[in-house]
Amino acid sequence: MGAPTEGETYAKIIEYLRKLQEETAMMAHLNKANDKTEQALSWLAVSENIRKMQHSLTQLAMGRMQ
């Protein structure tokens, strides 16, 4: 088993962020369903920030690998 590459490490981090974004979006949905609108909006904001982070990291990874 060889040492992990930079590209593989970026891919893992991006995948973790994707999963985290999905789960935070689910928390927003569950809170909305339970009439916790303020918490739902907070979770939605967290989800959106994670999505933006994922996009930024993808751009960074593409720049480093070219």
42-64 pLDDT, tens digit each? 999 999 999 999 999 999 999 86
Model-level pTM? Answer: 0.84
Judged against a pLDDT cut of 60, whether residue 66 lies above it is answered with no
Judged against a pLDDT cut of 70, whether residue 65 lies above it is answered with no
8-state DSSP, 5: P
Distance CA(51)–CA(14), nearest Å, equals 10
Judged against a pLDDT cut of 60, whether residue 11 lies above it is answered with yes
Distance CA(28)–CA(48), nearest Å, equals 11
